[in-house]
Structure 1
Amino acid sequence: MQQRFRKPLFVSVLASSILLASCGDAEQAGSGAGQQQQMTVGIVTIASRSVDLTTTLPGRASAFRVAEVRPQVNGIMKERLFEEGSMVTAGQQLYQIDAAMYQAELASAEAEIARAKAAVKASKSRFERSKGLLNDKAISQQDFDEAEAAYLQAEAQLKVAEANLSRAQLNLEYTRVKAPISGRIGRSQLTEGALLSVGQAQALTTITQLDPIYVDIAQSTSDYLKLQAAITDGRIVTDDDNRAEVTVRVGEDGNYSTTGELLFNEVTVDPQTSAITLRARLENANHSILPGMYVRAEVGTGALQNAILAPQTGVTRDPRGRAIAFIVNEKGEVEQRYLTVERTVGSDWVVTDGLNVGDQVIVEGLQKIQPGMPVKTEEVK
């Protein structure tokens, strides 16, 4: 009979031991969960500062100067004196037109000058003698008037001859066709032996000045109006001349860039694109930018005052596309904030609503947190 009562007593003791062990494991699990909630996250403390703003816009390059070379006298082209595609300087001779006829005209004009001078000398002597004879009443007033008129007419003929000489000299000079500007010259449209005429429609060649170079940039009217409103409100500050700096990048990787300044913007809007054209002038010493080339232009729009920047690593998006940041509030707990972001500056978002100066934005450990969780913070540099 005693052996029957020993087995239930043993079972009771065993059950109590299992219960105590389970309670101990639960306490350890609860303690471990508490330690996991006190995890350390990396934060960045928000501060305000002035930010130089830029906007990237598409643009097309256009030549600084373009000159079409045309003849200014008639004649036969005798020689081409430049290499196609080379650089030429202003005043450099490009073509030689047959000058034989113009040399003859110059010689004739010089002879006419000599004859006119002789006529002036003779008529002047006669006019001087007539003055003395008139005083002595040796000649009539009519004879004196005729001598004076002959002298004045001879002087007029001399001036006409001098004008003809200048014209002949100029025509002879025009037989040497020269470059009106410095730049890169294109191909010659005509060859030696071609008949040239004044006012012909076809240009002999074209010279393009590539340094500096213009870039025409298109900006939408909405962006333009937003910028003007920000300037009026004082959020964006520009210089007195509003000569913004422009950086142009070319190539697929943008591996070449050059800088310049914004000159002006058009006062009319393109009705087809609703865009305003801005013109910038940039240095192009190595001629990497060619007229007609598509470029990306970074235009400085001013300085944004008291801007609040949030690291992009600390800003996420919800399924609706709204910007979200997690901050550590005054209680040391994770808090979710919805943000209004305007643009990026480097690796930061410009935040216009949702963050204040001094907020601690979580940038590390975002995968392990949730709103309301107490955390420890460590400033991330």
Structure 2
Amino acid sequence: MTMHSIPLRRFLVSAVALLALAGCNRKAPAPKLPPQTVSVITLHPQAVTIHTSLPGRTDAFEIAQVRPQVTGVIQKRLFTEGADVKAGQQLYQIDPSRYQAAYDTARGQLAEAEAAEVTARAKLERYRSLVKAHAVSSQEYDDALAAEKQAQGQILSAKGQVESAEVNLGYTKMYAPISGRISRTLITVGALVTANQTDNTAIVTRLDPIYVDVNLPAITLLRLKREMAQGRIERQPNGEVPVTLTLEDGSTYEHVGRMALSEVNVDTSTASVVVRAIMPNPDKMLLPGMYVHAQLEEGSDPNSLLVPQQAVSHNTHGDAQVWVIKPDDTAELRQIQIGQAVGDNWLVTGGLKDGERVVTVGVQKVKPGAKVKPEEATTPPAASSPDAASQNKGQ
């Protein structure tokens, strides 16, 4: 063995040892994870009845303030406080003696005027034949004619006085101007009332039916008009909008009313429009000023898409978003537009279409572009029952 072969052998042994050591340090490749399993629902159009729930207050359908129209002392009170009264029912009796006397005087003046007219007419008839025979002058005939006309005028004036006195005499009986429930009396027997006084003697309020006034946001009104123009919202066959009420204690009012009108101007301070509903109130359960929640049944959308609320999240800007599973089972985070809450679901107004799959359970496992193993949820989203109210949400 030569001296040059020894370093070469050592070099080869070292190289082999280094290669063996490198082979020992090499790790086996990590096993590939299977796709994550997520629950999805497949969206399909369905008919949904759209409701809007808004706070409001009740208001009287009719209200009349009972005030005297003549001056006098109250002789009688002819009603029970808090009872129902009918239109035309007498409520008070004012002392009629002075007005009866004025009426009798006016009738006497009328009788005198009628008697004077009889004399004047007879004289005119006599002068009419005499003036033709030139037995009286034309001036005397003209005076007789004028006297007869004056007598007729006095009769008309006397009749007016009789009618005025009769009206004032009738005003001594104070009647209920409308049917309804009367308040407590604000005067007592023996009290002096005056004509055209500003204080009421009582108030009559009609309770059946009763108004409910609610403030509808202008943006909701625009949405309704837009969806109706697009044919998405179908009105009731009779064109009316049914209204149901939830009372302040949480109970549901048993009678169904209808929307009567909406204001033509938007309140600039609240950006809302006053909507008035008419509710039947045969049991007088609703009283003016009560706080209620009114549910307006806007109509039916026959092609609605519903997505469960649990599937919807919001980004930092507050925009709604969902995870959508593409046909190749990869995930996509998509921004959508939602409308009202319908039961446990959101009404989708944009961003999704029929047949798309949305993740409902397992969203924390999903990453953009990652493959997943979708499993159809057993209970697809369903519209709420007709009596379930929903709150408006911004578009």
Short-chain TM bin: 0.7 to 0.9
Greater per-residue helix proportion:
1
Asked if residue 133 in structure 1 is aligned to residue 130 in structure 2, the reply is: yes
Query: Does structure 1 conserve the Cα–Cα contact (< 8 Å) formed by 2:39 and 2:362?
Result: no
Q: Which amino acid aligns with 2:54?
A: L
The aligned counterpart of 1:169 is 166
Unaligned runs of 5+ residues in structure 1 are 1-33
Deviates more, 1:74-83 or 1:113-122: 113-122
The aligned counterpart of 1:277 is 274
Q: Which amino acid aligns with 2:311?
A: V
Q: Give 1:218-229 correspondences, 5 Å limit.
A: 218-229=215-226
The aligned counterpart of 1:101 is 98
Q: Secondary structure at the match of 2:257?
A: strand
Separation (CA, whole Å) in 1 of partners of 2:49 and 2:142: 84
How much has 1:353 moved relative to structure 2?
Answer: 4.1
The aligned counterpart of 1:21 is none
Identity %: 36
Separation (CA, whole Å) in 2 of partners of 1:239 and 1:295: 24
How much has 1:127 moved relative to structure 2?
Answer: 1.2
Asked if residue 54 in structure 1 is aligned to residue 51 in structure 2, the reply is: yes
Separation (CA, whole Å) in 2 of partners of 1:54 and 1:137: 95
How much has 1:241 moved relative to structure 2?
Answer: 10
Asked if residue 343 in structure 1 is aligned to residue 350 in structure 2, the reply is: no
Q: Which amino acid aligns with 2:107?
A: E
CA shift digits 1:11-65 (9 cap, x unpaired):
xxxxxxxxxxxxxxxxxxxxxxx9xx999x9876532134332211111221111
Asked if residue 88 in structure 1 is aligned to residue 69 in structure 2, the reply is: no
- Going from structure 1 to structure 2, the CA distance change for 1:259 and 1:334 (only over 3 Å counts) comes to farther
Separation (CA, whole Å) in 1 of partners of 2:165 and 2:67: 19
Q: Secondary structure at the match of 1:200?
A: coil
How much has 1:339 moved relative to structure 2?
Answer: 6.2
**Please, what TM-score do these two structures have when normalized by structure 1?**
0.77
How many matched pairs? 341
The aligned counterpart of 2:257 is 260
Q: Secondary structure at the match of 1:256?
A: coil
Q: Secondary structure at the match of 2:177?
A: coil
Q: Secondary structure at the match of 1:158?
A: helix
How much has 1:355 moved relative to structure 2?
Answer: 3.9
Query: Does structure 1 conserve the Cα–Cα contact (< 8 Å) formed by 2:40 and 2:375?
Result: no
How much has 1:140 moved relative to structure 2?
Answer: 1.2
CA shift digits 1:205-245 (9 cap, x unpaired):
11111122222211233333444444455544558997533
Separation (CA, whole Å) in 1 of partners of 2:48 and 2:287: 33
How much has 1:122 moved relative to structure 2?
Answer: 1.7
Unaligned runs of 5+ residues in structure 2 are 1-33, 381-395
Query: Does structure 2 conserve the Cα–Cα contact (< 8 Å) formed by 1:84 and 1:187?
Result: yes
The aligned counterpart of 1:74 is 71
The aligned counterpart of 1:117 is 114
Query: Does structure 1 conserve the Cα–Cα contact (< 8 Å) formed by 2:45 and 2:303?
Result: yes
Q: CA RMSD in A?
A: 3.4
Q: Which amino acid aligns with 1:209?
A: R
Query: Does structure 2 conserve the Cα–Cα contact (< 8 Å) formed by 1:339 and 1:353?
Result: no
Separation (CA, whole Å) in 2 of partners of 1:73 and 1:352: 65
